[in-house]
Amino acid sequence: MTLTPAWMSPTPDEMPFHCRTCRRALHRRQTPNGVLTFEHPNELRGDTLDHEPRPAPVTEVPDPIIECDFCSSPEALWVYVCADQETETSYVTRRTVNVGDYQRRHYAARTRAVESEQGPLRIWGERWSACDGCAALLEGRELYGLIARVTDAMPPRLIRGRKLMTVRGLLHGHYSTVLETLRPGRGRITARYPVMAWEETPGRVDTGDGTGRQIGQRRKG
């Protein structure tokens, strides 16, 4: 184990935030007018909770529950760092259908036009926690194995029928970026160090430039 590299020290923007009520991690999102808010991961899945987010840095939450950011296992042990990712969202505010088609098919009527408005910007951040199972797939750069593991752990209502193809496509986009931009090494999550204690990946050196080059490997170009 080595000291955490300088570029790994969490900034205020990257410090993980947890809910003071349920002690679980919160996702960041930015409203169209620039206000930063937080939400529980379960809300992204359409679930309802009995409390509003009460954000606090993970270091200020007693005995935080740190779940795997991939399969949601409650036994996250590692933190990986990659390029930041953001997702723009939008809401459908109006659908236009043909009157005759609606009279015959009601809600099954074909949509002729759609109006929408900008939704919140979801900020995924650079740090992804992982359980041992997902960590092994990350270390092996097994993209499709990781996607399969994650979808297998999802509630059936989220992957039923055609939803599965849509979910796999979204995960493919996010996880491809994660694997392509992984920093060398990984952080170990412990009760004493919930943010992480950094460990170098065997056979690699931290060059400080984020390339993750192996020992003796020259920079391309």
Considering the domain boundaries, does residue 218 fall inside one? no
Same domain, 99 and 187: no
- Using the predicted structure, report yes or no on whether residue 103 has a pLDDT greater than 60: yes
- Using the predicted structure, report yes or no on whether residue 115 has a pLDDT greater than 80: no
Domains: count for the chain: 2
More confident residue, 26 or 121: 26
Q: Is 63 left (phi over 0), alpha (psi -120 to 50) or beta?
A: left
Considering the domain boundaries, does residue 210 fall inside one? no
Identity of residue 51: H
Same domain, 152 and 106: no
Considering the domain boundaries, does residue 3 fall inside one? no
User: Where are the alpha helices (H) located in the chain, listed in sequence order?
Assistant: 41-44, 99-105, 132-139, 143-152, 156-159, 163-180
pLDDT in tens, 63-79: 899 999 999 998 899 99
Same domain, 99 and 136: no
Same domain, 150 and 59: yes
Q: What is the mean pLDDT of residues 8-23?
A: 73
pLDDT in tens, 135-189: 999 999 999 999 999 999 998 988 898 899 999 999 999 999 999 999 888 888 8
